[in-house]
Structure 1
Amino acid sequence: MQKLPAKTGWIWVKEGFALFRKQPAEISTLFLAYMFLMLALGILPVIGQVLPLILVPVFAMAFMQACAQIEQGQRVYPTLLMIAFRSPVLKTLLKLGLLYVLAAMIAVGASSLVDGGVFWRAMTGPGLDPTQIAGSNLQLAMIMAGVIYIPAAMTFWYAAPLIMWQNMTLGKALFYSFFAVRRAGAAFVLYGLAWSGLGVVVPMVISLIVGLLIGNATIMMFILLPISIILTVVMYCSFYPTYTHVFGKPYGSANGVTPAFGSDSDDTTR
């Protein structure tokens, strides 16, 4: 596994757009079905707050599998959301999800050292009144939580596909994920900056144009909402090339089972 140049981060973004263009309606429908399911789970009392986080690795594999099938020219259907639930590694993916929750709690909890627990209460409680937010270091606490979470994000990034597509144990997948992200650090920095820019600049430019031409807030919202959804779906699609450029393409992934790897790895990994 060789280090990837920084420009690879932009290549991942472009490949995400390329995957989206092949089946835009299908992958968008998959995403909307996922969002609807998350909203439905959120209605559940108590567990509804943590269950969507626990299921992140499970549903993440639906999008990874969808991208693999798009790449192979196969049609994507919303039922793909259930693919990891039929996998023999489901329990391991759920354990990974529990680690997601634990890591997030540690990061948000540590930020209490900065703002006295305001961010923690905002994330876990019914909400805060403006007076509590005004006198706190909430923004600094959010930044601190994000920085603390970075090592966990590196550990989790590739873990789900390594578990499902390479049959790795939980510990081994976490280990390989962390060091793979570390070796591709420059590419991930550019990748993150690119998506940060796209997420801010594109809506800002569109808002400015619509504001100048129409000046109607309702129409602006109707325009920005689908664009935001499209950008989010494309970002999900770009997760797949971050994996294939490092570990190669999954062999037989269209079967929805835990496949081994073929020899058609990307040239950047050789």
Structure 2
Amino acid sequence: MGKLPASTGWLWIKQGFDLFRQQPGSLTSLAMLYAMLNLVLSIVPMIGQLAAIVLIPAFSVAFMQACADVEQGKRVVPALLLSGFRKPALPKLVAVGLLYLSAAALAIGLASLVSDGMLVKLLTGKIAHDSAEVRDASLGSALLLILAIGLPAAMAFCFAAPLIYFQNMGVGKSIFYSFFGVLRAFKTFVVFAVSQFGLMLLLSQIVGALFGGSPTLFVMVMQIVLVLFSVLFHCAFYASYRQIFGNPVAPGAAAGNAPTDAP
């Protein structure tokens, strides 16, 4: 695969929307079911919240499989949400989730040290964002540190889950191919991320203009918008995976073979 033009990032969003409009109800139902499961997990103090993070890779492949099914003319069903909970993928997907959690903890921990603990206090609501302590803290350095750790980690974990699920790769191999797959199309992903952010900002402005007079109604509508946007994001993400690594194959069929167009 040659280097992709930056404009391909917007093309992925358009392709994602084309996938979504083929089965909008089924895909949205899958996202709402996932949101409900996350809500149930969040009820369990600490353990449930950590489990929700660790299981993100296992749940994310459900949407990739759903998009593949839509593309093949198959019906998306709720049972797809458990696609990532089958062996041999599950242990590796959980391992990726644990590594993701560790990277996040490392980034926040180091940033907290740089800011003398002020960042954690700010994130947990123990101190007001406009207080004198926050203004005097080294939050700029802390945020740069999070970016320095978080960006490479995001690149490494971006495609790790679908590569494990579709290509039957090991954890280390999937992280390697994910990192260099994103690196080779970095400008494209910048356009993709900026476009997603711009669309989300535009939608929030429209909802605010229409329902801003009623805070309760605004929150309800925004929750619906966020669910729909998450579905569109996963559809666009599937388009990016297909562009970089080729059409998905049945789980396990690749027997660990690396994609021929990967670095």
TM-score by length of 2: 0.88
Q: Which residue of 1 aligns with 2:254?
A: 260
Q: Which residue of 2 aligns with 1:67?
A: 67
2:229 aligned with 1:231: yes
The letter for the 1-side match of 2:235 is C
Q: Which residue of 1 aligns with 2:151?
A: 150
**Post-superposition offset of 1:144:** 3.8
User: Which residue among 128, 131, 137 is the counterpart of 1:130?
Assistant: 128
Alpha-carbon distance in 1 for matches of 2:172, 2:71: 29
> Cα 1:50–1:222, aligned 2, differ >3 Å: closer, same or farther?
closer
Decide whether the 8 Å contact of 1:118 with 1:133 is kept in 2. Answer: no
Which structure 2 residue ranges, 5 or more long, are not aligned?
A: none
Alpha-carbon distance in 2 for matches of 1:24, 1:98: 32
Q: How does 1:1-270 map to 2 (within 5 A)?
A: 1-121=1-121, 127-130=125-128, 135-136=133-134, 137=137, 140=140, 141-142=142-143, 144-211=145-212, 215-251=213-249, 253=250, 257-260=251-254
Decide whether the 8 Å contact of 2:59 with 2:84 is kept in 1. Answer: yes
Decide whether the 8 Å contact of 2:62 with 2:84 is kept in 1. Answer: yes
> Cα 1:241–1:131, aligned 2, differ >3 Å: closer, same or farther?
closer
SS at match of 1:130: coil
Decide whether the 8 Å contact of 2:121 with 2:127 is kept in 1. Answer: no
Q: How many residues align?
A: 255
Decide whether the 8 Å contact of 1:203 with 1:228 is kept in 2. Answer: no
Q: 1:242-270: CA deviations, max 9, x gaps?
A: 1000011112x3xxx32339xxx9xx99x
Displaced runs of 4 or more, over 4 A: 131-134
> Cα 1:142–1:204, aligned 2, differ >3 Å: closer, same or farther?
farther
Alpha-carbon distance in 1 for matches of 2:161, 2:132: 39
Q: Please, what is the CA RMSD of the aligned residues?
A: 2.4
The letter for the 1-side match of 2:175 is L
Decide whether the 8 Å contact of 1:206 with 1:224 is kept in 2. Answer: yes
The letter for the 2-side match of 1:198 is L
Which structure 1 residue ranges, 5 or more long, are not aligned?
A: none
> Cα 1:241–1:112, aligned 2, differ >3 Å: closer, same or farther?
same
**Post-superposition offset of 1:132:** 9.0
Alpha-carbon distance in 2 for matches of 1:21, 1:152: 32
SS at match of 1:258: coil
Instruction: Calculate percent identity across the aligned residue pairs.
Output: 41
> Cα 1:219–1:167, aligned 2, differ >3 Å: closer, same or farther?
closer
> Cα 1:216–1:64, aligned 2, differ >3 Å: closer, same or farther?
same
Alpha-carbon distance in 2 for matches of 1:218, 1:111: 35
> Cα 1:96–1:16, aligned 2, differ >3 Å: closer, same or farther?
same
The letter for the 1-side match of 2:193 is G
> Cα 1:216–1:139, aligned 2, differ >3 Å: closer, same or farther?
farther
> Cα 1:50–1:225, aligned 2, differ >3 Å: closer, same or farther?
closer
**Post-superposition offset of 1:209:** 4.4
Alpha-carbon distance in 2 for matches of 1:55, 1:230: 21
Q: 1:27-68: CA deviations, max 9, x gaps?
A: 111111111111211222332231111101100100110110
> Cα 1:63–1:116, aligned 2, differ >3 Å: closer, same or farther?
same
**Post-superposition offset of 1:138:** 8.1
